[in-house]
Amino acid sequence: MSTESRPNDRRLALFPLPFQGHINPMLQLANILHAKGFKITIIHTVFNSPNQSNYPQFTFKSISDGLSESKNINFNLDTTNPVVNFMNRSCIEPFKDCLLRLLKEEPIACLITDALWHFTQSVADSLNLPRIVLRTSSMSCILVYAAIPILNENGYLKTTIQEDPIPDLAPITNKDILKVFNDEFKEGKLELISSMIKNTKAASGIIWNTFKELEESAFSVISQDFCVPNFPIGPFHKYFPAYSSSLLEQDRSFMSWLDQQPDRSVVYVSFGSIAQMDEVGFTDMAWGLANSKQRFLWVVRPGSVSGSEWLESLPEGFIEEVGERGCIVKWAPQQEVLAHRAVGVFWTHNGWNSTLESICEGVPMICSPYSYDQPINARYVTDVWRVGVMLDNGMETARVIKRVIEDKEGGEMRERSKSLQEKVNLSLGKGGSANQSLENLVDYILTL
């Protein structure tokens, strides 16, 4: 992709939210802007700090996040939401002090912070620094989030499940909205979302890890409703891959197994860096894969099954049943796997990075969203872009897998997915919309 450099001596300070799905796009963006000639400082929390040795071209500054000192926060990956709320308070002073120290050394042209770091807007204002937001999910998602106070007032967050699309938010249903709040921290999530929206609208601009052609209608609504410049310059991983920002070590030992499989025959299964499942869900997944009789590569992240370190909950007889047909790993080089000719379908939780990575490789999806933005992404995948199928509770997993791998329906999804892949490439190419947006972003930062 074209990231021609225009020399300038402007320094940018970037502040990623410390979770894999947020660190990857922020560090990719840092690389993109560095290639455009900017000097980059990454401010990061002690918790989940990025691997600095992979980025000798950047300066890193660590700040205290208060997590290790706090006795009130019971942290596990299922409590991401209270942790983010907590850090939005505990990082205020350390972040401000860090910026003051940096400003003594040299001017900062602009701050770029994750949208979920909503406290950074008032810090930026107090120091007279422009703040541009990086939103790491889709445009469609933020429109749904922005409607949540009204949905709440109108009773859509109550527990009656309706499958019909919500007026003005089609194709989103109240079932999807209930899944967004699929945990015990609804109040905290409402607070986080509304602070995020308010402080995103107050920013000097928004950078999106998406491209206009994928979200044409959301883009036009956002251009009207969010009165700040918008820069949809994604997908970022097409400029720079994510492996260097991986917090977990990627296993590549299965690559020779993958090389031996026929074209489009393998189900790649991964539910990202945060989602956790219970033992029953894990056992159901295992039997679904075994009964489908298809080949599979399954990422089981250590700690992702409640109460297990890794594979202790695999049902008895499973390994013997699947034999050479299946491969289980702790963490994979996902983009490389999705680009492999042997992969036929991605069974995913529909984190936005995973969704984009699948679209970019023309791989159809089986969607099993958990929470956050995932139900919204999954609804767009199945009902708007029509490059995947939903796998809901009660459906027969083996049948759904076969539908995508073997049936005509799967072939049609693959065709549509390939055409989205072409649109991505056009958008990123010279004169394409993402390419132009990136040029606009660089010009805009130079005027700040």
| Binding positions for ligand UDP, rule: CB under 6 A | 20-21, 24, 242, 246, 270, 272-275, 299, 331-332, 334-335, 351-354, 357
Distances (CA, A) of 307 to 256, 275, 314, 441: 32, 14, 12, 46
114 catalytic residue (yes or no): yes
Distances (CA, A) of 148 to 12, 193, 203, 356: 33, 9, 21, 24
Nearer to ligand UDP, 166 or 338 (CB): 338
Nearer to ligand UDP, 174 or 353 (CB): 353
Closest C-alpha to 73, from 245, 153, 188, 221: 188
Could you give the angle at the alpha carbon of 394 between the alpha carbons of 388 and 398, nearest 5°?
Answer: 60
- In sign, the C-alpha dihedral spanning 172, 173, 174, 180 is negative
Nearer to ligand UDP, 45 or 204 (CB): 45
Yes or no: say if 50 and 16 are a contact pair by the CB < 8 Å rule.
yes
Yes or no: say if 303 and 273 are a contact pair by the CB < 8 Å rule.
no
Look-up: residue for tokens 């106070």? 149
Nearer to ligand UDP, 357 or 361 (CB): 357
340 catalytic residue (yes or no): no
Min separation Cβ 194 and ligand UDP, Å: 21
Yes or no: say if 297 and 332 are a contact pair by the CB < 8 Å rule.
yes
Min separation Cβ 123 and ligand UDP, Å: 25
* Among 22, 34, 118, 349, the one annotated catalytic: 22
Closest C-alpha to 348, from 292, 249, 252, 275: 275
Min separation Cβ 240 and ligand UDP, Å: 12
Min separation Cβ 113 and ligand UDP, Å: 17
Nearer to ligand UDP, 208 or 331 (CB): 331
Nearer to ligand UDP, 13 or 274 (CB): 274
Look-up: residue for tokens 């539910």? 271
Min separation Cβ 6 and ligand UDP, Å: 29
**305 DSSP assignment:** B
Query: Which token pair is 385?
Result: 């872009």
Closest C-alpha to 243, from 14, 398, 54, 403: 54
* Among 65, 114, 176, 373, the one annotated catalytic: 114
Reduced to 3 states, what is the DSSP secondary structure of residue 297?
Answer: strand
Min separation Cβ 439 and ligand UDP, Å: 25
Residue numbers annotated as active site: 22, 114
